[in-house]
Structure 1
Amino acid sequence: MERLTSQQRAALPVNTTQVFELLPDAWLILDGQFEVVMANARYRQMHGVTLSDIRGRSVYDINQFGSQSQRDLRRNWLDSMLPGLAPGETRLSPQLRYDTPAPDHRDDTLTPRYWQVRTSMIDAGDGSAPMIGLCVMDVSDSIAVTERDQRERAKLRSQARLRQVLVDEANAELRAHREQLRQALAFAHVGAWELDQATGMIEGTDQCKVNLGLAPSDTLTQTLLFDELVDEADRARVKEAMDRALAQREHFEVEFRVTWPDRSVHWILLRGLGRYQADETLKAIVGFTLDITSRKEAELEQRAIAESEKRAREHSDEVARAMDHFVTAVSHELRSPLGAILSWTLLLQRAADLSHVTRAAGVIERNAHQLSHMVDDLLDSGAIATGKLSVSLQPVDLGALAGNVVEDIRMTAETKGLRLRVGELAPCVVMADESRMKQVAWNLLSNAVKFCAQGEVELSVTVNGQQAELSVRDTGCGIEPDALARIFERFEQINPESGGRVAGLGLGLWLVKHLVDLHQGSVTAESAGHGQGATFKVTLPLYR
């Protein structure tokens, strides 16, 4: 302090020099030309220098170690912290790597180290030139530790400072340390708070209230925080975490949502620890709040992406299984008619009996028609899957169209020994693609004939209000209730009697549903269960 004027010494408390010497952080006092005036014991110990080594020297010229590039970075770093510093302004530097030897200088080997400085203007208040206080912090250890360790150390330092303030609140130097703590927390957007268990009042810093969506002048209470500010969906979880931790004499850490006055939702990290009296009763709870909205949104986004990827994988697996099913079905169903055609063609080539010609021609024609229907279904299936299937809508009499389809399939039904009945065929005009609507009626009738071993198949067309209804009823094997929801899926075949597949690719009802959807209609299936037959109904809006 030799360069301080007598007036400056008189203005300062008697023990200022002693306090400065005992500060736990490393401090330099610089004059207006950035030359060293004082260095406390912590600084001298950290750098292994004496005060006479550096006093009167520019802070830019001391501690010159490492490569030239590091020295240039250090100079630029100091340039951002010292020139233009205004009274009352405090600056906190970014971290800088600057390699230095050990403090005892026994070994010239440089050790990688990271530094951070805090600068502020010191005004003695007597009109003399202000000086600059420069706090030098070695943050090398904090670089290598995890984020959780950093939070734990910050909590321990906060508690140590809080205990120090409570020991001697009247001490001016300790009040200055408390102000420094407040500024550091505000700089990091961390809000400190203390809950008085007896009164329910919460004393919080301005940043704490800002994090909770309050104004610095607002009064914060236990009821306001936990019964109003905390989102209703999170309240029970927050209270449970606090009660459990306090009962076990442990700290608690919980995340919750708050809604700010502008209706924006923010995620807050609340951490606290109970303080207990001599009789082990809870006296207060102290802790901090931190706005973690950005981190939480990123976490939720990553979770959503993971869920989306999971659904995509599941969908991919379903597509792969469907493709396997498709290949199996096509291989099986195409083999049967192809085998029949090849066998009877070979028989025609070898047999001289003309009586076989008519029978062979019938077999070949029937199997060729079956192959043709399968190919048509496959082509329509591909068009639907790619969104390329379209319909040309024209006024069509649904009753007349259904009557024609019945006659087309009558021989097939009667050959199988079934009675094909035609109920009411009410004349009703709908907007439809005639060929596609014939395909719908044909698929429903052929499906009924296929799954009906004996009995009858009945078709009817009726008018119900503003809707036309085409109904196909059979007395066949029926459908179990749990299978009704699946029968319109692609490659799905339900045979409650044997559980195996029957002839076909399992595309008929799937095509029916998509074709009816293109006509702005609906299709439903009803069955009382095994052996009770089934009824399929297609409903279309009447043409006006």
Structure 2
Amino acid sequence: MDRLTSQPRAALPVDTTQVFELLPDAWLILDERFEVVLANARYREMTGVILADIQGRSIYDINQFGSQSQRELRRSWLDSMLPGLVPGENRLSPLIRYDTPTPNASDGALTPRFWQVRTSMIDGGAERAPMIGMCVMDVSDSIAVTERDQRERAKLRSQARLRQVLVDEANAELRVHREQLRQALEFAHIGAWELDPATGAIEGTEQCKVNLGLAPTDVLTQTLLFDELVDEADRVRVNEAMNRALAERDHFEVEFRVTWPDRSVHWILLRGLGRYQPGDTLKAIIGFTLDITSRKEAELEQRAIAESEKRAREHSDEVARAMDHFVTAVSHELRSPLGAILSWTTLLQRAADPSHVARAAGVIERNAHQLSHMVDDLLDSGAIATGKLSVNLAPVDLGALAGNVAEDIRMTAETKGLRLVVGELAPCVVMADQSRMKQVAWNLLSNAVKFCAQGEVEVSVTVKGQQVELMVRDTGCGIEPDALARIFERFRQINPESGGRVAGLGLGLWLVKHLVDLHQGSVRAESPGRGCGSRFVVTLPVYR
């Protein structure tokens, strides 16, 4: 056993013909005249021939199926692969189309096929001439796949080009529309903007920045727009309008003022709308600006004209009512003293009793003085209304003047049961028209006596720094706060609590105000209210 295993094994004989027959590729063996020596099973199966049909025949003569042009091309193709082949050399042919009969077809139809061959020289040794091995490859399927891929790629490229063409056309149309929109916005002076809530940055068109008084290169932000450019008086209103609209998912529209670098004020209309992400998160705010200065100025002008016309109508109505009141008051006030004068004059003519004569003379004199005062007030009011009233200024002791006027009116006050109190009468000199200043003091004191049913009337003159104050106080009916602003109007008379009318034309305080104004002074009225009395203070500069 050991002897057997130690002996070398004999080599197994190899049948090269059988190996050749089993090769997976299609092979032909040619001799030096390019005649077929062998063809393996794969070749015979691929071409549908038997070995006897092609053995001993030239490779140029077999498989004559294609058209004449294909046959000539096949010959040239073989010429490039066979002649001149040397041992050890391998050649790979280019692709060639050569049609072959369609399997199981009785009409002799040909199927387009593509071929490629690889040739090499086989050394036959010392005893045999060299032969040529030719591997024939049918690449039709791969070519079909390649062509299909190429067609698919071409189709995809065509579709891509079509899509690109469509995209380019859409982009071109979009650019045209954008340009048309830009031109339209510029023509209308409308600026577009978009605010990013996350960063506060605002992308605005050039017209938008121009509307806000900015240069085209300026950077626009939320803080700059809403906290600086918007006029301070409009900021709260603008921010509230925007925040309210965003909270309600609605648009906002608000007008505000901006001041341009040249200090001119412009009115801007701002309109905006929020854009939201799927989770209701605010993504952006978009909108436009429009300079509405001309329209707003016209609107404000029309509003001012309307307000002016309204005030004019109200003033006209007020004047008409005042005139009616004036006519009624003058008629009443003139009729009373005139009636008394006429009545007592008639009595004088009929009565011879001396006591009646003295009494009649007193009544006639008193009513004549009343008529004289009313006529003087009317003449002065006309002169003031036409700007013709003038004053002759000279140094006047206001304290002495007030004391004299108080003594003149004392009898009237005491006759009515009032106590006239003369307070401090500081000696002080003012530049005044003595007769006009007496008229001021008389009107204030006579008014106090007229509207005071009981109690007292006080007059005083005091010096306070560079000013002197003439004060007249009474404990009469008083003045309500809302009437204080109108107390110095012409023909204005505030009725006492009883509602009865007090004699007078309603010119006294109006004359006082205008006479004091002519003396570069001021007058004011004070009263806690109805039934609490009143206080009038005339302030004049001290003469130095």
* CA offsets 1:142-182 (integer angstroms, 9 cap, x no match): xxxxxxxxxxxxxxxxxxxxxxxx97688445434433433
* Counterparts in 2 of 1:483 and 1:169: CA distance versus 1, 3 Å: same
Match of 2:215 in 1: 215
User: 2:541 matched to 1:516?
Assistant: no
Match of 1:159 in 2: none
Match of 2:434 in 1: 434
Q: 1:421 offset after TM fit, Å?
A: 5.1
- Judge conservation of contact 1:168–1:174 (CA < 8 Å) in 2: no
How far, CA to CA, are the matches of 1:203 and 1:481 in structure 2? 56
User: TM-score, normalized by length of structure 2?
Assistant: 0.60
* CA offsets 1:92-117 (integer angstroms, 9 cap, x no match): xxxxxxxxxxxxxxxxxxxxxxxxxx
Q: 2:265 corresponds to which letter in structure 1?
A: V
How far, CA to CA, are the matches of 1:317 and 1:427 in structure 2? 46
- Judge conservation of contact 1:466–1:542 (CA < 8 Å) in 2: yes
* Counterparts in 2 of 1:170 and 1:309: CA distance versus 1, 3 Å: same
Match of 1:377 in 2: 377
How far, CA to CA, are the matches of 1:228 and 1:418 in structure 2? 66
How far, CA to CA, are the matches of 2:320 and 2:253 in structure 1? 45
SS in 2 for 1:258: strand
* Counterparts in 2 of 1:524 and 1:198: CA distance versus 1, 3 Å: closer
How far, CA to CA, are the matches of 2:169 and 2:329 in structure 1? 86
User: 2:399 matched to 1:399?
Assistant: yes
Match of 1:506 in 2: 506
Q: 1:327 corresponds to which letter in structure 2?
A: V
User: 2:200 matched to 1:206?
Assistant: no
* Counterparts in 2 of 1:520 and 1:193: CA distance versus 1, 3 Å: closer
Match of 1:445 in 2: 445
How far, CA to CA, are the matches of 1:399 and 1:249 in structure 2? 74
Mapping of residues 36-185 of structure 1, within 5 Å: 171-185=171-185
Match of 1:11 in 2: none
Q: 1:319 corresponds to which letter in structure 2?
A: V
Q: Bigger shift: 441-450 or 281-290?
A: 281-290
- Judge conservation of contact 1:169–1:175 (CA < 8 Å) in 2: no
How far, CA to CA, are the matches of 1:531 and 1:288 in structure 2? 62
Q: 1:276 offset after TM fit, Å?
A: 5.1
SS in 1 for 2:543: coil
Match of 2:294 in 1: 294
Mapping of residues 232-271 of structure 1, within 5 Å: 232-245=232-245, 251-271=251-271
* Counterparts in 2 of 1:244 and 1:411: CA distance versus 1, 3 Å: closer
Q: 1:179 corresponds to which letter in structure 2?
A: E
SS in 2 for 1:493: coil
Q: 2:515 corresponds to which letter in structure 1?
A: L
- Judge conservation of contact 2:523–2:538 (CA < 8 Å) in 1: yes
* Counterparts in 2 of 1:171 and 1:524: CA distance versus 1, 3 Å: closer
How far, CA to CA, are the matches of 2:235 and 2:422 in structure 1? 66
Q: 1:392 offset after TM fit, Å?
A: 0.2
User: 2:412 matched to 1:412?
Assistant: yes
Q: 1:417 offset after TM fit, Å?
A: 4.7
* Counterparts in 2 of 1:390 and 1:275: CA distance versus 1, 3 Å: same
Match of 1:348 in 2: 348
Larger radius of gyration: 2
How far, CA to CA, are the matches of 1:533 and 1:234 in structure 2? 45
Match of 1:334 in 2: 334
Q: 1:484 offset after TM fit, Å?
A: 4.7
SS in 1 for 2:448: helix
* CA offsets 1:28-62 (integer angstroms, 9 cap, x no match): xxxxxxxxxxxxxxxxxxxxxxxxxxxxxxxxxxx
Q: 1:269 offset after TM fit, Å?
A: 2.7
* CA offsets 1:179-213 (integer angstroms, 9 cap, x no match): 34333433333333344566654433322332233
How far, CA to CA, are the matches of 1:532 and 1:194 in structure 2? 65
SS in 2 for 1:256: strand
How far, CA to CA, are the matches of 1:380 and 1:199 in structure 2? 72
User: TM-score, normalized by length of structure 1?
Assistant: 0.60
User: Between Structure 1 and Structure 2, how many residues are aligned?
Assistant: 379
Match of 2:311 in 1: 311
Q: 1:382 offset after TM fit, Å?
A: 1.7
Q: 2:312 corresponds to which letter in structure 1?
A: A
SS in 2 for 1:490: coil
Match of 1:491 in 2: 491
Q: 1:175 corresponds to which letter in structure 2?
A: R
Match of 2:162 in 1: none
How far, CA to CA, are the matches of 2:269 and 2:477 in structure 1? 62
How far, CA to CA, are the matches of 2:453 and 2:295 in structure 1? 65
SS in 2 for 1:400: helix
Q: Percent identity?
A: 90
How far, CA to CA, are the matches of 2:480 and 2:518 in structure 1? 28
* Counterparts in 2 of 1:273 and 1:447: CA distance versus 1, 3 Å: closer
Match of 1:12 in 2: none
* CA offsets 1:474-531 (integer angstroms, 9 cap, x no match): 4555555665554433333345441222122222222222222222233344556666
Q: 1:189 corresponds to which letter in structure 2?
A: H
* Counterparts in 2 of 1:382 and 1:169: CA distance versus 1, 3 Å: farther
Q: 1:338 offset after TM fit, Å?
A: 1.5
Q: 2:263 corresponds to which letter in structure 1?
A: R
Q: 2:502 corresponds to which letter in structure 1?
A: V
* Counterparts in 2 of 1:534 and 1:192: CA distance versus 1, 3 Å: closer
How far, CA to CA, are the matches of 2:417 and 2:251 in structure 1? 82
* Counterparts in 2 of 1:345 and 1:251: CA distance versus 1, 3 Å: same
How far, CA to CA, are the matches of 1:238 and 1:253 in structure 2? 9
Q: 1:320 corresponds to which letter in structure 2?
A: A
- Judge conservation of contact 2:451–2:496 (CA < 8 Å) in 1: no
Q: 1:249 offset after TM fit, Å?
A: 5.5
- What is the aligned-residue RMSD (CA, Å)? 3.4
* Counterparts in 2 of 1:372 and 1:468: CA distance versus 1, 3 Å: same
Gaps of 5+ in 1: 1-165
SS in 1 for 2:376: helix
Gaps of 5+ in 2: 1-165
* Counterparts in 2 of 1:297 and 1:339: CA distance versus 1, 3 Å: same
SS in 1 for 2:271: strand
How far, CA to CA, are the matches of 1:501 and 1:218 in structure 2? 72
How far, CA to CA, are the matches of 1:530 and 1:269 in structure 2? 51
* CA offsets 1:206-254 (integer angstroms, 9 cap, x no match): 2233223333333444444444444444444444444555566655443
How far, CA to CA, are the matches of 2:206 and 2:418 in structure 1? 87
* CA offsets 1:342-362 (integer angstroms, 9 cap, x no match): 222232334454543222222
Q: 1:279 offset after TM fit, Å?
A: 6.1
Q: 1:266 offset after TM fit, Å?
A: 2.5
* Counterparts in 2 of 1:192 and 1:389: CA distance versus 1, 3 Å: same
